[in-house]
Structure 1
Amino acid sequence: MKIKSIKAYHVVQPFVDGPYRMSKGRVADCFDAVIVAITSDSGVTGWGEMAPLGNFYSAAFPAGTRAGVPEIAPHLIGHDPRGLAGIGRLMDTVFKGHPYIKAALDMACWDLAARAADVPLVTMLGGRESETAELYRVVTHGTIDQMAALAKKIVAEGYHRLQVKVGGNVRDDIERVTAVAAAVPKGTVIFCDANAGWTPYQARQFADATRSIDYTFEQPCMTIEENMSVRRMLDKPMVLDESVTSLGEMLEIHRRGVADGLTLKISRLGGVTQTRLIRDVAVDLGFMITVEDTGGAEIDTAAMAHLSLSTPEEHRLHAIAFHEWVTVRTAANKPPVTGSRMGIPDGPGLGIDVAPDLLGKPFFEIG
């Protein structure tokens, strides 16, 4: 089997609930996605998707993806898409760095390989560990009353896990989280995610003032060293997200005992190949794991679901359904969500029936 053609589409995906707000005034109105279709000489097509959250969240930006895919794609023509490790090495050889650009291409090869084998992707990722994964919802940054009201609304809709955005003015965030915790039932799982927005001094202030609240602290500071300085005084679990950029960084986090859990972003790591590798090693080292991405619709959410459900349940934290965030559709079906839990679509590969007519005209095509 050989790669015969590659197409790339640009799809803007506005948010259902309006602007997504984080600390320090960071705001995004949409996911700005690149969707890739890779077709083999046997006529099988695999799909991949990558969508940064603005230009501020990760070391990725939409225009970079649109510029980078045409640089890499010609080198893949004629290669076997099932040779996933080799495809990854080839992309790294011809295009140094920029893993986010390679993520959609890598995902499409995995989808194609699983479709060609007539098995769901979860089977190739180690096997299905459970039928569904528990979802969390985000309480975005806002006023105290807005955040408390949003938390109550999310819980009323049947969700039991909240990621509360912090990382702004410390005193205000203390009041925000206190109000959110008081507004939801006891036992609601709360993650306080600063998105690396604080200095260690600020993070310690927050942690000290909120000792009576049950939550998990997520990525308070930017660097591993800064998070370690917070970890030393922390009496709560810590999860790192932005710090996990490679296998080497994950091993350094483990060596230093910085975190109890990790959030793995597919695009930040360069695709399904590296995400699966880091996930498997991290599970063996005892970490709790969340697999998600920086954004996307049905295609990317399906990849997240397959990786989540092939993660041992005792090491899985939760998942997120990004396709429910956006106003546009890219496929005839979607990852099934029932209540606060998400499964995977039926069928081989990702199980997603992409509708090319919903994607518009490709901005790049070769083959």
Structure 2
Amino acid sequence: MKITRLEAIPVSVPLKAGLTTRTAHGDHVTSDYAIVRVHTDSGLVGLGEATVSPIWSGETNRSAVVAVEQILGPAILGMDPTRVHSCRFAMDRALKANPFTKSAVEMALWDLAGKAAGVPVHQLLGGKLRDSIRTKMMIGAFDPPQAVSLAERFLGWGVTCLKVKVGLDPAGDVARVRAVREAAGPDIPITVDANCGWDVPAARYALERLKAFDLLVAEQPLNPVLDDATRDLRSLGLAIMADESVWTAADAMRVCKANAADVISLYPGKNGGLLASIEVAHVAAAAGIPCHMGSNLELGIASAAMLHLAAAVPNIRSDRFPADILGPNYHEADLLTTPLRLEPEAAIVPDSPGLGAELDEGQLDRFRVDR
């Protein structure tokens, strides 16, 4: 089997009314992503999704289209898509950085490899350890009444873990988490995510007060370069999760050596593909640090890839740190013919060949923005 063409389609999918979100990075109202198709001479087509965001990695859906069709496509044209390592090295030689775009192409390669072999991607990754992945739902950095309304809505669905965005005004952050804890009661695990929004004094102020709310973990309180200061925050007694601090295996090694995290968040888009996420997980495992499956509010294809990864990698401990495989729940469409089984407590891992995700051409036509 040989690659004959790469295709990238920019899309813009709004979040559902009442489920738009707010973080220290800003408001997230519409997802401007790109869908990737890798065509082959066998007739099989692999699917990928670039959940790009300029505030995250400098990528946009338009830059992804150009990178896929003008740089990455020519780099792997004629190659065997089942030789994922070789294709990955060719892409890295052709284009620096651009992890979300490369991840979309690599997803499509895994999809093709699974379809060609007649097995799900998790089987190619060594076989699944888990049939389902425990998940949580996210509450944006809204005022306490709106945060409580969302918490009650999610708990009414049967959700068993909540994530609250913080990292803006420390006093307001504490008030928001207090309100959610009171609404959720003592038995629902709650995490917070500052998205690098606090400086050191603000982080110390907030975390000292947030300890009272029995948090499972506090995610990315400081700027990624502040490993020493983040290590010092661990002395407050809250588990610290690194997210924006860890893009690569080398980043994971740095954070582990600095003792700057209790948990590391990974996911294919941020890391640049499933293979790169596995490398991060292995580095963390060697340091005795568990991993968590993060998110950039993916649609259906990328969420499927995350499920296969979380199912197959031992050190992605979604049982202890519920995963952020939640993007389709927030969007008006997932672009799939058959939605993933994202149930309130856990997401069910697909068992169909490849990623187990089929593109809905009608939805694609509705949300594409290149016509």
Amino acid at match of 1:118: G
Q: Give 2:245's match in structure 1, choosing from 233, 237, 243.
A: 243
Residue-by-residue CA offset, 1:59-100 (whole Å, 9 max, x unaligned): 433332123222221221101111111111111111122222
Cα deviation digits, residues 110-133 of structure 1 (max 9, x gap): 111111111100111221111111
Matched AA of 1:334: P
Post-superposition shift, 1:228? 2.4
Distance 1:9 1:62, change over 3 A: closer
**Alpha-carbon offset, residue 149 of structure 1:** 2.5
Aligned equivalents of 2:180, 2:97: Cα separation in 1? 40
Give the residue type in structure 2 aligned to 1:323. Answer: P
1:212 is paired with a residue whose SS is: helix
Aligned to 1:278: 280
Q: Structure 2: which amino acid aligns with 1:152?
A: E
CA contact (8 A) 1:266 1:292 kept: no
AA aligned opposite 1:324? N
Q: Following the alignment from structure 2 to structure 1, what is the Cα–Cα distance between the partners of residues 48 and 15?
A: 20
Paired residue for 1:23?
24
Distance 1:121 1:229 in 2: 36
Aligned residues: 362
The residue aligned with 2:201 is 201
CA drift of 1:286 comes to 2.4
Asked if the contact 1:193/1:217 (under 8 Å) is kept, the reply is yes
Q: What is aligned with 1:132?
A: 132
Equivalent residue, structure 2, for 1:311: 313
1:58 Cα deviation after fit: 4.2
Q: Distance in 1 between matches of 2:262 and 2:292?
A: 12
User: Deviation at 1:55?
Assistant: 3.0
1:249-268 residue pairs with structure 2 within 5 A?
249-268=251-270
Counterparts of 1:279-358 in structure 2, within 5 Å, are: 279-312=281-314, 315-316=317-318, 317-319=321-323, 320-358=325-363
TM-score (norm 2): 0.91
Counterpart residue number, 2:364 = 359
Q: SS state of the match for residue 212, structure 2? A: coil
The whole-number CA distance in structure 2 between the counterparts of 1:153 and 1:238 is 27
The alpha-carbon distance between structure 1 residues 58 and 94, as it changes in their structure 2 partners (threshold 3 A), is closer
Secondary structure of the 2:301 match is: helix
Q: In structure 1, what is the equivalent of residue 115 of structure 2? A: 115
**Cα deviation, residue 313, structure 1:** 7.5
Distance 1:300 1:151, change over 3 A: same
Q: Distance in 2 between matches of 1:244 and 1:177?
A: 25
Structure 1: unaligned runs, 5 residues or longer: none
Distance 1:184 1:315 in 2: 23
Q: 1:339 to 1:175 in 2, by over 3 A?
A: closer
| Separation of aligned partners in 2, 1:97 and 1:345 | 30
Which residue of 1 is the match for residue 60 of structure 2? 61
**Secondary structure of residue in 1 paired with 2:226:** helix
Deviation at 1:247, TM superposition (A): 0.5
Cα deviations by residue, 1:243-300 (Å, 9 ceiling, x for unpaired)? 1111001011111111111111321211122112222332343222222432331111
Paired letter, 1:65: A
Q: Secondary structure at the match of 2:55?
A: coil
Please give the alpha-carbon distance, in whole angstroms, between the structure 1 residues aligned to 2:183 and 2:267: 30
